[in-house]
Amino acid sequence: MSGNGTTPGDDPLQTAVWRLRSRGCWADAAALLLPDTPAAALQRASLLVERCLYTERGWEEAEDALRTAEALAHTDDERGAAACERGYLAYASTLLVVRDRADEARAALGRAAALIPPGVSQRALLDFRRGLLAENLTSAPQAARAAYRRAHAGATAHGNPLLLSFTWRHLAGLALRDGELVEARHGFAESLRIREELGYLVGTAPALVSLADTETEPEASRLREEARRLFRLLGGVPTWLARQLAPLPPAATA
């Protein structure tokens, strides 16, 4: 992906943005971008939307940045990308029980689908986010699986390893739900491998916990302890991971 600092010729600005983003410093990363072009405004909005999902705060800043991106969008591609972010913000608000915006999420992602043609790189991200809606807001795992597979194929075709780490992870989650332990373990391991290679620290702890759910002891405990270390290092981000990392209560005694 652009700006991850791993390929020759990376834009220094994008490399700096990526390094801050990967460590959970979304506001600092966004501060490096002047929202004076459609691309910069959209990237700034996407960073602040992502911060909402990982920290459960910053909603107003994300809304303001998104309105700026929407105002600057002139082409179908730009309007579609802004609609995709609008849908993702509404999804995050609904998922984290801040405010029910499920209808807005569906409408925005539907609008994005009408503007972003199949086969382009943006379509893979849109397919992934439509999968999230199907899985988590509509409880439609089959539709989610189909959307994740389309996103996975698109991420592969366009060389987007970060998105691949997400599609591996969510396809593995559906496999685990269906009792396909080997398939789930493979998917979670691939997701973790990619995130470690990219240096995507803020996404590594969740990947460790997911993989731990498919392992036996003592490997499962080792993975969870590593996740706790990273979680503390990043200041308790993502916030929703705290519930999964909470120690089990002691067994009751007579």
Q: How confident is the model at residue 175 (pLDDT cuts 50, 70, 90)?
A: very high
Residues in the chain: 254
Q: Render pLDDT for 117-172 as a digit per residue (tens, 0 to 9).
A: 999 999 999 999 999 999 999 999 999 999 999 999 999 999 999 999 999 999 99
Among 77, 4, 2, residue whose Cα is nearest residue 38: 77
Q: How confident is the model at residue 34 (pLDDT cuts 50, 70, 90)?
A: very high
pLDDT averaged over the chain? 94
Neighbours of 238 (CB within 10 A): 17
* Helices within the chain (DSSP H only): 12-22, 26-31, 38-55, 59-72, 76-95, 102-115, 121-136, 141-157, 161-177, 181-198, 204-212, 219-233, 241-245
Q: Does 10 or 250 have the greater pLDDT score?
A: 10
Q: Which residue has 């009751």 as its token pair? A: 252
In the numeric block, which tokens belong to residue 124? 């893979």
Asked if 126 and 116 touch (Cβ cutoff 8 Å), the reply is yes
Residue 10 main-chain phi, psi, to 5 deg: -60, 140
Q: Render pLDDT for 193-224 as a digit per residue (tens, 0 to 9).
A: 999 999 999 999 999 999 999 999 999 999 99
Share of the chain above pLDDT 90, in %: 92
Q: Rounded to an integer, what distance in angstroms lies between the CA atom of residue 171 and that of residue 155?
A: 14
pLDDT at 246: 81
Asked if 60 and 45 touch (Cβ cutoff 8 Å), the reply is no
Mean pLDDT of 92-111: 98
- Give the chain's end-to-end CA distance (angstroms, integer): 56
